Amino acid sequence: MDRPTSGAVAAVLIAAGAAVAGASLVVAVLESAVGVPNASSLYLVAVAIIALRFGIPGAILTAVASVIVYDFLFVNPLHTLTVSDPGEWLTLVLLLFVAVIVGQLAALQRARAESALERERESRALFDITRALAVGESTAAALPAICAALAREAAMNQVWVALGPDDARERVAARLSGEIPWPPRSVAVLHRPAEGGRAAWTIVRPPAARGGGVGAAGGAVRHFRVRIEETGRPLGSIWATRSPSTPEPAEPTTRLLQVAADLIAQALAHERLTEERRRAEVARQSDELKTALLESVSHDLRTPLATIRALAGTLIDPEVPVDAVEARASAAAIDAEADRLNRLVGNLLDLSRIEGGALRVADEAIDLEDAIVRLVAPLEGAVQSDLVEVDVPDETVVRADPILLEQVLVNLLDNARRHGGPDVPVRVTATAAAGGRVRITVDDAGPGVVDAELPHLFDKFYRSRTRQGGSGTGIGLAVVRGFVEAMGGTVLARHGELGGLAVEITLPAAVLPLPDLPPVDASR
């Protein structure tokens, strides 16, 4: 409740006079017309009414006025303040005593009710503020709801939040609808003392006001400011306005504004710390990825390059005799190592396209059996065609990008050879899955992986420690997952039926239109 003003004091005086006058009229009727010998107790009703409405000061004023008026109008001698009968003195003293006690009790009850209402309003406002901060995507997104709650519960005409490291760089981050009255003629700034003290409002006149350049909008209201600070570091301010005739906020309202500023400061500090942790985590992960990339790629690049250089050096050395068969074998080995390098570089580029969002995906109907059979035989160095079993039903058609699907199958077959072994059987099957999809499984008879590694096989640069050839780059299966998900499918790894690793991918099935058939001649 705000501090009383001259208008409030006048209202108490008028109400007390009206209550005493009304009670006197009723007492006059009862004692003269009805014949009640002493109706002075009716003044207690007036005292109680004023106490409930205006508190203890109004109750005491009404009690004293009631005794004086009753003595003047109804106690002999009439129309004087002299009391000749000692019994009448006792009556007046008891009336004053009882009136003051009743007034105080009623005022205390009213004060308790008002205090409960204040606590309820404060709790409701704090709940709205904390809820807005909790469910909002960010502190900035929660500020409009906070402004609305403060304007409603703190009885402010306009509330806005300005954020910035100092006064000159504060910018409005949220406000209620309507214009902001600016510049202010004067500002009541809330100063927070050391722990244990009470906050107080201090009037500050800004430079514009001292120079006389105050606009009409800013000078027509009172401005209030509560600074938003984190351990002494300014973050912004809560601004509010009231009409010039209203008093400064009382203690509950002041406490509400102060707590709101503290909650906003804590939320902003939490966001800052979260962002710093996120950046530190991104930097750490980036360093780890760079290290893993260098460790993985350096080995896989050096190995084929060393082979190519050795074979090429043998071919160009004039002192080393090489017949035509050996030359063709060396050339084939060089071509295979170059193809291996090409796949490695291609996977790196594909991974960068996936992460950069630059992947373009076509949507075509692809005959799955034809796509797999075409890949198995000519895949140099991947698997022996006679060790690959293809079990794909006829007319199994999927919707996919042909280039991406080919790269997925190449990576899966190459993964089976590298980690399962060059002489390990591989089986590629396709079956119908729920929801109009096709499940493609690449199963090998290699050593497989332990259960703990299955969820991580598709992570970037993850290399299995239980499979053969564990020195790979760890990006082949990551590219598989990126391509499959880009085509609207899913991928998972499990223990295979052949005893090794099985990789399942699901893709949307495609239904080919039936060919147009000539009409049937019914006369035949």
Q: Cis bond leading into 165, ω under 30°? A: no
Report the run of H or E that residue 267 belongs to, with start and end: helix 251-316
* CB crowding 424-456: b at 16 or more within 10 Å, else e: bbbbbbbeebeeebbbbbbbbbbbbbeeebbee
More confident position, 505 or 93: 505
**Residue 161 confidence (pLDDT):** 93
Is residue 455's pLDDT more than 80? yes
Question: Tokens for 351?
Answer: 């991974």
Average the pLDDT over 287-295 and give the result. 63
Burial class (CB in 10 A: 0-12, 13-18, 19+), 140: middle
φ, ψ dihedrals at 112, nearest 5° = -65, -40
Residues 316-372: tens digit of each pLDDT: 878 778 788 888 888 888 887 787 777 767 766 666 666 666 677 888 888 888 888
Bridge-based pairing state of the strands 364-367 and 171-175: unpaired
Whether the predicted pLDDT of 427 surpasses 80: yes
Higher pLDDT, 352 or 117: 117
pTM of the model: 0.48
pLDDT at 422 over 80: no
User: Residue 33 contacts by C-beta under 8 Å, 6 or more apart in sequence?
Assistant: none
CA distance 318 to 324: 14
Residues 6+ apart with CB under 8 A from 18: none
pLDDT above 60 (res 2): no
Look at the block and give the residue holding tokens 């703190």.
Answer: 154
pLDDT(519) > 80: no
Q: What angle do CA 410, 354, 340 make, to 5 degrees?
A: 35
The answer to whether the beta carbons of residues 237 and 226 sit under 8 Å apart is yes
**pLDDT band with cut points at 50, 70 and 90 for residue 41:** confident
Give start and end residues of each alpha helix (H) in 83-166: 86-135, 139-153
Residue 471: pLDDT over 90: no
- Please answer whether residues 142 and 133 qualify as being in contact, where contact means their C-beta atoms are separated by less than 8 angstroms: yes
Q: What is the pLDDT of residue 377?
A: 59
Contact predicate 190/258, CB 8 Å: yes
Question: When comparing pLDDT for 384 and 460, which is higher?
Answer: 460
Q: How many Cα atoms within 13 Å fall on the side-chain side of residue 295?
A: 12
Q: How many Å apart are CA 210 and CA 383, to the nearest integer? A: 88
Closest CA to 158 of 142, 139, 182: 182
Amino acid (one-letter) located at 430: A
d(CA 74, CA 93): 15
β-bridge partners, 200: 191
CA distance 407 to 344: 12
pLDDT tens-digit readout, 255-278: 889 889 999 999 999 999 989 998
SS3 content of the chain, % helix, strand, coil (to 5): 55, 15, 30
Contact 507, 483 (CB under 8 A): no
Q: Tokens 């760079």 appear where?
A: 290
Direct distance between the N- and C-terminal alpha carbons of the chain, in angstroms, rounded to an integer: 102
The type of residue at 455 is P
Closest by CA position to 475, among listed 466, 467, 483: 483
pLDDT at 85: 62
Q: How confident is the model at residue 379 (pLDDT cuts 50, 70, 90)?
A: very low
Burial class of residue 111, CB neighbours in 10 A (0-12, 13-18, 19+): middle
Mean pLDDT of the chain: 79
289 against 38, higher pLDDT: 38
Cα(175)–Cα(145) distance, integer angstroms: 9
Per-residue pLDDT band for 518 (boundaries 50, 70, 90) equals low
pLDDT of 483 reads 85
